[in-house]
Every structure is written in structure tokens, then in C-alpha cells.
Structure 1
């Protein structure tokens, strides 16, 4: 129809005034239209959330695995149990040497990683076991059995710093019950890891290695198994969550 306007009529002045008052200012009313997020943005956000969740789960697993060992060190070093310990506590602990060369009694190479996962009651003795060797190996067996239901948390390890043959009788002895893990290791590498007390030799001590391969404790040269057991009991109590079976 000629003469008519194509745009919608303006709102009455009274209505405009009321709407502006409701908005809290005197500025003209305006409307903003937000665009919807793109599919690629949503996918990226979902990926970030999955990555964050995966990292949190990984940290949780690491924390659970490390907690028992951390608890033992907290008990011994933070709570200052050194004064009550019968054994020599090694501060700082000594890590398993990188590239440690190990062989079984048949000359087959053994990965040093196999030493990890358990507490290791460790003796260093020659292939031809003498009276000193017999005494410490007996104490090693005795200490493990004295742990009762906790004994599966401990393994027996015999480190041999020479290449002499081990007699059939001795092989049979260390295979009885829970076997002793017998491994040959070069003397220089062994001495770079474990140390005797001043004035003594490696073969006079029993050494304790923790589940991640760190040397943390050494018995006196004249080992009293009942006193050494008290130190092990503290470790077990601090590591109540460590329940992996023996290797």
C-alpha cells in the first residue's frame, strides 16, 4: 500500500522508558547473540580433560607403589630411630649401580632389575663357603623365617665376588626351602656399591637392600639375629602395605 513504512513501528515511549528502567540504565537496549562452540573446540576440550585425568591416575599409581618405601624411610630417618637401631643405617642410601654385571651360577647374564621388588637380606661370600660364610648364611635363613607371616616380603641374596666353582653340596643346600638367589658380581662393582664398617670386610656383614635397589642398612660384624630382627620388625610395621610375594 503506497505511503506505508516497511519497518515495524517503534515501541511507545512509555514502554521504552519502562524497559530501560528495568535494565538499570538509560542506554538503548541491545541484544548479543553468542555463537555455538565448534566441534573441533569441543573435541580439544575433551582431549585435555582425558589427558588430565590420565595424569592424575598415573600419579595415584606411583604414589601407592612408593608409599611403603617412603614410610620406611620416614620411620627410620624422619622420626629419628637411628639411636634405637641395632644396625648401621646408611645415610644417604646407596643406589643400585648402573650397569651392574650379574651372572647366575651357570654363567648366564642376569639383569640387575631382578634385584628390585623385595627387601633383600644380602650376604657377600666367596664361592668356597667357609665357617664365616656358613654362620652368616644360617643367620640369613633364620632371620627370614623369624618374620613369620611377613617372611615373603624378604628374599635371600648371595653375592659372589669371584669365579670359583660352587660345590654341588652347597648348591643343593641353598636350593632347599625358599632358595637363595646366588649371583656372581665383579668385585670392583660390588665394592663401589656396598661398604664394610671401618676395620672390617664385606663378608663379615649382612646387608639390607630396599625394594628399589638401595642399600640402606648393615649389620654389625658380629651379628645377633634377634637384635637385627627388631630393626626388620620396624621396617615391616612401617611397610604394612607392601605385600608383594617373593620373586
Structure 2
């Protein structure tokens, strides 16, 4: 019989519950899939900037860093109904902002905006036409009809001039109405055409961007 001695106690940690390995793996893959879907527009934009090396070959001005759609951008239809700015996201936006009056130069730019989209051919459905009309600019009934009455009408919205001028800026020595602006699917301004652009050269920039986003973009908003 063993001699008497002090009583010793051993304390063991309780086993912790573990996720079943297959469930843990599925959860991890689901998380990565959600992150990939959310980040797709960001990845596409950086692919366009760096992998395609647009900086050295672009006809237009690349805006770096990109400029986010301002939180104070309040949009309305031409009839005055409010439109949430976030509804513009999810699509490339070829954007035009008329000057104090929509004169013959303005009408030429609007025609060019429409033609550029059509010139993209099978990629044209990846690009929407957006016209942001400052609150102090009046459009004639004929101009409104030209913008909204065609097979692929533009989205025409009003906004405060000071907010637009703080976001989409003209090149030094030029006016906003001389440019076309490209806004990416995250609502960031990332490209500005030269003043009174040459359509064929600008089309090449748009084609490069549409090709870069072919894998994820969806036609139409």
C-alpha cells in the first residue's frame, strides 16, 4: 500500500467547441466571394490605370486621385422630383454639364456624347449618358426632347452649380461645357476629355476602359 502523502489536484482546461472543418472552409470562401464582388469596380479601375498603362497612352486627362461623388450632391429630375445620388452608381457614366446657356456648342457636345456611346458597338450598353444640368441653366423643349426621346435616352438631372463645380472641374482656362467627364461605377470622377474633344481619340480611351471591365460589368443600370 503506497504511503500517505499530500493530495495533489490537476486542473485541465475544458475543450473548446470547434467548427466543423468543411463548414469553416465554406464560411471562409463565402467571405472572400462577398469581398471580391464588392471590390470588383475598384479592381477594374486600378486595372485600367496601371495594368493597361493608360497614363502613357490616354488622350484624355486621368484624374488622380479620383474624386468621389460629393455627399451634398442633391439631384432632381427636370420636373423637380428628388433622385438619390446613389442610384447613379453601378455603371460607367459619360457625363456632360452644360454652361450658363445650352447654345450651339452645348448641342454639339450632347450630339458627340450620344455618338460616342453608339461608336462603342457591343460595349455601348456598359456606358450610360448622364447630363447634369446646373440649377441656373434652362433647356428648351426641343433640347429636352433630343435628350430624352431617343432609343437610348440620357439620364438628365438638375443639381446646384456650386456643388457640380466643386466636383467636376474644367481644365485651366476652359469651361465645364467644353468637356466630357467619365464617372466610374463607384461614383468617382476619373477622366476628363480635352476641351472640344476629337471623338475618335476619345473613343479609344473609352474602349480601353470597357475592355478592362468586360469580366464584371453589367449592361444598363
Q: TM-score, normalised by structure 2?
A: 0.84
Q: Which residue of 1 aligns with 2:82?
A: 109
Q: Distance in 2 between matches of 1:118 and 1:173?
A: 22
Count residues with an aligned counterpart: 210
CA contact (8 A) 1:127 1:166 kept: no
Q: Which residue of 2 aligns with 1:18?
A: none
Q: Which residue of 2 aligns with 1:171?
A: 144
Q: Distance in 2 between matches of 1:181 and 1:127?
A: 19
* Unpaired stretches in structure 2, ≥5 consecutive residues: 1-11
Q: Distance in 2 between matches of 1:139 and 1:242?
A: 27
Larger Rg: 1
Rate the CA distance shift 1:164–1:86 in 2: closer, same or farther, 3 A: closer
1:70 aligns with 2:32: no
* Structure 1 counterpart SS, 2:95: strand
1:196 aligns with 2:170: yes
Higher RCO, 1 vs 2 (CA within 8 Å, ≥6 residues apart): 2
Q: Distance in 1 between matches of 2:21 and 2:88?
A: 38
2:57 to 84, 88, 106: 84
CA contact (8 A) 1:139 1:225 kept: yes
Q: How does 1:133-212 map to 2 (within 5 A)?
A: 133-175=106-148, 176-212=150-186
The 10-residue stretch of structure 1 (225-234 or 119-128) with the greater mean CA deviation from structure 2: 119-128
Q: Which residue of 1 aligns with 2:105?
A: 132
CA contact (8 A) 1:88 1:220 kept: yes
Q: Distance in 2 between matches of 1:197 and 1:153?
A: 26
- Cα shift at 1:193: 0.7
Rate the CA distance shift 1:214–1:48 in 2: closer, same or farther, 3 A: farther
| Deviation per residue, 1:169-225 (Å, 9 max, x gap) | 222211211111111111111111111101011111000000000000000002111
Q: Distance in 2 between matches of 1:50 and 1:109?
A: 45
Q: Distance in 1 between matches of 2:28 and 2:109?
A: 46
1:218 aligns with 2:192: yes
